[in-house]
Amino acid sequence: MKFEATTRSVQGSSASRRLRRAGRVPAIVYGGKGEAQSIELDHNEIFHALRKEPFHTSVLDMMLDGKKQTVLLRAVQWHSYKQLVLHVDFQRVNANEALTTRIPFHFINGDESPAVKQQGATISHVLNDIEITCLPKDLPQFIEVDLGNLQANEVVHLSDVKVPAGVEFLGIGEESPVLATATVIAESPDEDPPSAADVSAAEAEKSDKPAEDDAK
């Protein structure tokens, strides 16, 4: 994915507010062999790009003043209640150096699984993303988890998922983490029927009340 950026010469909170009023977004790019550099982006372009998942999980081509830099999105600051991007951080990427980032899981075929269609189970996603390391060329946009054969009361672990070529999962302990579960929720037992004594008491109370017709 590609986007445009220009060098930002003026810095500071006042300058950033002026940029935002002009429809621009202050940003920074850092890492690699170059120094950290202040840049600015078109708000509409970056706003719509940020709504696409691949922009968050792909190696990006940033055209900075017409020259391409390969970067990875690292952080986004949003306005607390407005649809407004306040600041964006990018990190330069070296094709020959491993990068570290978080990648989402895409769960598929859960609704078609025996657990859901035949056994009345509810599928819960326990882990939605994971930290990985890989070379830029091996970076997946997501990791697919097929739940099509899931049975009721079964659990899907990370060890059940095929690791993409060139990718290493990070932050994993001795036990493989749980990604999803299929649970059959037990129905609550019906309430006990009223006893004969309860019925008799209710009828007696009703008979003690004067009829509305007699009161008229």
Give the whole-angstrom CA distance, residue 113 versus residue 129: 22
Residue 145: which pLDDT band, with cuts at 50, 70 and 90? Answer: very high
Residue 205 inside a domain? The answer is no
Res 13 pLDDT > 90:
no
Structure-block tokens of residue 49: 């790009």
Residue 201 inside a domain? The answer is no
Give the whole-angstrom CA distance, residue 16 versus residue 10: 8
Judge whether 71 and 90 are in contact, CB under 8 Å: yes
Same-domain check for residues 59 and 123: no
Q: Name the percent of the chain lying above pLDDT 70.
A: 86
Residue 32 inside a domain? The answer is yes
Predicted confidence (pLDDT) per residue in 157-166, tens digit: 999 999 999 9
End-to-end CA, the chain: 82
Task: HSE, CB side, 13 Å, CA atoms: give it for residue 54.
Answer: 6
Same-domain check for residues 88 and 37: yes
Burial class of residue 139 (count of CB atoms within 10 Å of its CB; 0-12, 13-18, 19+): buried
The CATH code of the domain that includes 129 is: 2.170.120.20
Residue 110 inside a domain? The answer is yes
Q: How many domains does the chain have?
A: 2
pTM: 0.80
Residue 197 inside a domain? The answer is no
Same-domain check for residues 41 and 123: no
Long-range contacts for 36-39 (Cβ within 8 Å, ≥24 apart)?
Answer: 37/7, 37/64, 38/7, 38/8, 38/9, 38/11, 39/5, 39/6, 39/7, 39/8, 39/64
Residue 198 inside a domain? The answer is no
Same-domain check for residues 78 and 131: no
Residue 156 inside a domain? The answer is yes
Same-domain check for residues 64 and 105: no
- CA 85, chain centre distance (Å): 18
Same-domain check for residues 37 and 64: yes
Predicted confidence (pLDDT) per residue in 71-116, tens digit: 999 999 999 999 999 999 999 999 999 999 999 999 999 999 999 9
Same-domain check for residues 159 and 117: yes
Same-domain check for residues 13 and 78: yes
Single out the residue of 80, 77, 91, 81 nearest to residue 25, CA to CA: 77
Same-domain check for residues 85 and 106: no
Structure-block tokens of residue 213: 């017709």
Residue 32: which pLDDT band, with cuts at 50, 70 and 90? Answer: confident
For residue 84, give its domain range. 2-92
Same-domain check for residues 66 and 105: no
The CATH code of the domain that includes 71 is: 2.40.240.10
pLDDT value for 12: 86
120-127: average pLDDT: 95
Residue 170 inside a domain? The answer is yes
Same-domain check for residues 78 and 135: no
